[in-house]
Structure 1
Amino acid sequence: MNKSRFACYAKKIVTVSEKGTIKDGVIIINERKIECIGTYKELKEKIKDICVYDYKDKVITPSLIDCHCHLLEYAPGSLYPVTKETYLEAGKVLLFNALLSGITAFGEQICGSPICNISIEDYIKVKDEVPLKIRFSLNSITIGTDELSNYTCLHENKQVDKDILYNIDVISKMAAKNEYPGENVFINATPANLPPKDVPRAGEIIFTKEELKSIVDVFHKKGKKIGAHVAGKDGIDLAIECGIDVLHHAHGIDNNQIKMVKENKASIVATPLGGTHLTPNLPQDIFNLVKEGIDVSIATDAYLPPASHLNLEQDKLYGSDVLMVISQPCMKLLFENGYDENICLSLLTSNPAKILGLENSIGKLDIGMSADFLVCDGVPGLEIIDKENILAIFVDGKKLISR
């Protein structure tokens, strides 16, 4: 029997594609990709002579995507007593913990960090060492300490002067290697994970319009989209005026700015867990974005201390494994207002796949797409938030997790 060709049967398949939800559904996998997908009645003849996994009382969905996280650079040193020799090994543990919660693709940031001196090349090698899909965003960062602390992915753990952040040669090198529009530029100084007293300048705008526009132009001339860490009215106005393609966080965005984002065909990565100096995206905020037709993704920005309105321990850092937890209030609000489960789930699947530039291979279940999917007790984020309710996780047609 051909082990690379098999099928799964489920009570319903939420495809997040034009096919919508398929009841009594069958998905046929062949050589890592989806060969066919449809109802059991339509495909029963095609599955007679192949292995069939019978998940008759379960739900199959695309696997989840966290398109904004810091699992390899900032998190290991924040969570563990690691040295350079064990730093990336700890990062791989965090990736595996995320996998256990149904996340199989990641948008990982490389910003430069005072706590480690690991090269871009060493971070990128991790892609070949784990059975997951990772795209890297190459960034600069400004931390809102008394004397602003600036770093770039090219300078590892060495502080740099502000003019380096918009130096054309530095930006060109970053843009050339950049894999997706993550936090390429920090329009506002970040509080990072530091206590407020240590970051009194968090939220301060770092660039003039001319400086930011020069950075955006370099990315665009190289055919690359650019993303930005941004929050607050003035910062968001600046991002829109300068042509930022993906606004990460966008905490505090107002209705007029939402309309401008839509006109510019920009996208927003919402982070309900936190990540800026302002209150993070609340369920109603994300609902307003979806209602206006903005492409919205929900991400964790992990690892972070949680926003105070979330029902999470305040003295703890949370990772990608809470993606379903922080997404559920918004997903339920959407569902209660007439958006079907495919639209709700798109915030964790197809929309972030588009941010990563992987929309033609992951994020949906359709013919020719990679066989990356979950078998669950309900729709992730909408109906279930406990990882124990995810029974199986497939990546490229291989079952990586089985509960």
Structure 2
Amino acid sequence: MKHLQKVLFLTAALAGTQMTGVAMAAESSNAVVIKAARMLNAQDGKWIAPAMLVVRDDKIVAAGSSVSVPNGAKVIDLGNKSLLPGLIDMHTHLTGDPESAGYSVVALSMPRVALTGAKNARLTLEAGFTTVRDVGAEGYTDIALRDAINAGDVPGPRMVASGPALGITGGHCDETIHAPEYKISASGVADGVDAVMKKTREVIKYGAGVIKFCATGGVLSFGDDPRTSQYTLEEMKTIVSEAHRLGRKVAAHAHGGDGIKLAVLAGVDSIEHGSYIDEEGAKLMKEHKTWLVPTVYLGDWLVQNAEAIKLPLPLLEKAKVVLPDARKHIAKAIAAGVPIAFGTDAAVYPHGLNGREFAVLTKLGMSNADAIRTATINASKLLGWEDKVGSLDKDKFADIIAVDGDPLKDITELERVKWVMKGGKVVKTVQ
């Protein structure tokens, strides 16, 4: 009996060893090794050369200049290319296009808008932006798009989406083009403390992963001034406290100095645009560790293409004043050390051109390495996703891009991303 038990034990142990071997072989066979001339350490802005990354499923499992290649691993050799973390855009509107920003198209159905978003999600991903924060879409079309991407139905970046942006009646986040007899208001409109609390809860109910509200007037809206505040401090505090209590961060559209300060004092996580940020506002943002998400390249594209997109004259006149002023103030904020995260406001200009923002940031005083950091390390911190994205480190998502040259020397290389992997899957091959 004891002899039989020993035989059975040895047989089971041998079977376990064989099964472990089979499991190890299977585990090795689904590994992918990516080789290239160099890869960027986004944290310190230095190259690691040569570059080797081991990817299994959707994660990076090893990274360095010399790592062990698992048996049976697929090898992707990108030759002399440079690897960087997938880029992050913290201010997009994937379901919009420049023509709708210019109000030449006002009758699109929500299903049609969502399908526009599917097109723009693909363009954004192929441009090297593997993660975006989408901050404002009517009809929860951005939420539908996010869910479709997560389900694998359509290609696109990882999305943190806000749903409709909150705003005051007649403010920048309301519909200000329609005649009064139509009685049309944007779905995020809410006035007063009780109403903004309810609206914050409502957009979270329907899937918002971040809350966006308009603290000041804007450029692409009628009847308001970008320099003036809209929500009161009490209303802003209500939005922020309720969002934070429910586990969401808050982004505030704010051009004017007073609106920026009120939003910072209310506790927002980021200021979007910041066109008229002044010395006091910059100081407050540093003290409160509030991120600034400037969107500066759009000033070039919008003015140059205003006629083509039929931008109404009153909006063009505002743009010609606000957008050049914004660069002066943003440059001072950068010099003052305000924390910066990358954003584009893509939709005001065509999606896929997001990388053009980098060159403007460097013209405003950033080094190339610092500009890249805004769209990697900094953006991941603002998202609260430091453990998921933003660097080519073990256990992060395998979100990786490749360019031909050295963006530390020529930042415009990031306008010409050649190869993209998101979550371990190649979504754009070398051209």
Compute the TM-score of the two structures, normalised by the length of structure 1. 0.78
Q: Do structure 1's residue 8 and structure 2's residue 30 form an aligned pair?
A: no
- Is 1:221 matched with 2:245? yes
In structure 1, stretches of 5+ residues that fail to align are: 305-317
Deviation of the 1:163 alpha carbon: 3.7
Partner of 1:173: 202
| CA pair 215-146 structure 1, distance change in 2 beyond 3 A | closer
Q: 360-369 or 102-111: which moved more?
A: 102-111
Match of 1:308 in 2: none
- 167-176 vs 277-286, which moves further: 277-286
Q: Distance in 2 between the 1:360 and 1:146 partners?
A: 35
Q: What SS does the aligned partner of 2:281 have?
A: helix
Deviates further, 86-95 or 201-210: 201-210
In structure 1, what is the equivalent of residue 296 of structure 2?
272
1:327 corresponding residue in structure 2: 358
Q: Per the alignment, in what secondary structure is the counterpart of residue 418 of structure 2?
A: strand
Report the CA distance shift for 1:296/1:49 in structure 2 as closer, same or farther (over 3 A).
Answer: same
Residues 3-12 or 259-268, more deviating: 3-12
Q: Is the contact made by 1:7 and 1:27 (CA closer than 8 Å) also made in structure 2?
A: yes
Q: Select the structure of larger CA radius of gyration.
A: 2
Report if aligned partners of 1:12, 1:22 keep a CA contact under 8 Å in 2. yes
- Alpha-carbon displacement from aligned partner over 1:29-63 (angstroms, at most 9, x marks no partner): 12221111111xx32x5367533222231100011
Paired with 2:45 and 2:356, the residues of 1 have a C-alpha distance of: 27
Q: Note the C-alpha offset of 1:93.
A: 0.8
| SS of residue in 2 equivalent to 1:301 | coil
**Does the CA-based 8 Å contact 1:108-1:137 persist in structure 2?**
yes
TM-score norm. by structure 2 comes to 0.74
Q: Judging changes above 3 Å, is the alpha-carbon distance between structure 1 residues 272 and 147 closer, same or farther for their aligned structure 2 residues?
A: closer
- State yes or no: 1:70 paired with 2:93: yes
Alignment map for 1:177-216 (pairs within 5 Å): 177-180=207-210, 184-192=212-220, 198-216=222-240
Structure 1 residue 107 displacement after superposition: 0.9
CA distance in 2, matches of 1:272, 1:241: 24
1:225 to partner: Cα distance? 2.5
**2:158 maps to which of 120, 129, 133:** 133
Equivalent position to 1:122, from 144, 149, 153: 144
Contact 1:144/1:203, CA 8 A, preserved across alignment: no
Which structure carries more helix by proportion?
A: 2
DSSP 3-state at the match of 2:135: strand
Runs of 5+ consecutive residues of structure 2 not aligned to the other structure = 1-25, 178-183, 300-317
Q: Are the equivalent residues in 2 in contact too, given 1:73–1:110 (CA < 8 A)? A: no
Aligned counterparts of 2:400 and 2:173: Cα–Cα separation in 1: 46
Contact 1:70 1:301 in 2 (8 A): yes
Give, in whole Å, the separation in 2 of the partners of 1:83 and 1:211. 31
Q: How does 1:4-403 map to 2 (within 5 A)?
A: 4-17=30-43, 20-39=46-65, 42-43=66-67, 45-46=68-69, 50-72=73-95, 77=100, 82-112=108-138, 117=139, 122-127=144-149, 128=151, 129-131=153-155, 132-138=157-163, 139-142=165-168, 149=175, 157=186, 160=189, 162-163=191-192, 166-175=195-204, 177-180=207-210, 184-192=212-220, 198-274=222-298, 278-279=322-323, 286=330, 288-304=332-348, 318-331=349-362, 339=367, 342-379=369-406, 383-385=410-412, 389-402=416-429, 403=431
Residue 173 of structure 1, CA deviation: 2.7
Q: Which amino acid aligns with 1:10?
A: A
Determine helix, strand or coil for the equivalent of 2:162: strand
For residues 126 and 198 of structure 2, the distance between their equivalents in structure 1, rounded to whole angstroms, comes to: 41
Distance in 1, matches of 2:344 and 2:365, equals 19
Rounded Cα–Cα distance in structure 1 between residues aligned with 2:270 and 2:54: 35
Counterpart residue type for residue 388 of structure 2: S
Q: Which amino acid aligns with 1:268?
A: L
1:95 CA drift (Å): 1.3
C-alpha distance in structure 1 between counterparts of 2:172 and 2:44, whole Å? 51
Cα distance in 2 for residues equivalent to 1:120 and 1:389 = 26
Report the count of equivalent residues.
Answer: 370
Secondary structure of the 1:65 match is strand
1:242, CA displacement in angstroms? 1.8
Answer yes or no: is the 8 Å Cα contact 2:174–2:185 preserved in 1.
Answer: no
Q: What's the Cα RMSD here?
A: 3.6
Match of residue 304 from structure 2 = none
Which structure has greater strand proportion? 1
Q: Is the 8 A contact 1:272 1:327 kept in 2?
A: no
Residue type of the partner of 1:179?
A: G
For the residues of structure 2 that align with 1:99 and 1:120, how far apart are their CA atoms? Answer: 15
Q: 1:241/1:55 Cα in 2 relative to 1: closer, same or farther (>3 Å)?
A: same
Give yes or no for contact 2:213–2:251 (8 Å, CA) kept in 1: yes
Deviation of 1:108 after TM superposition, in Å, equals: 1.1
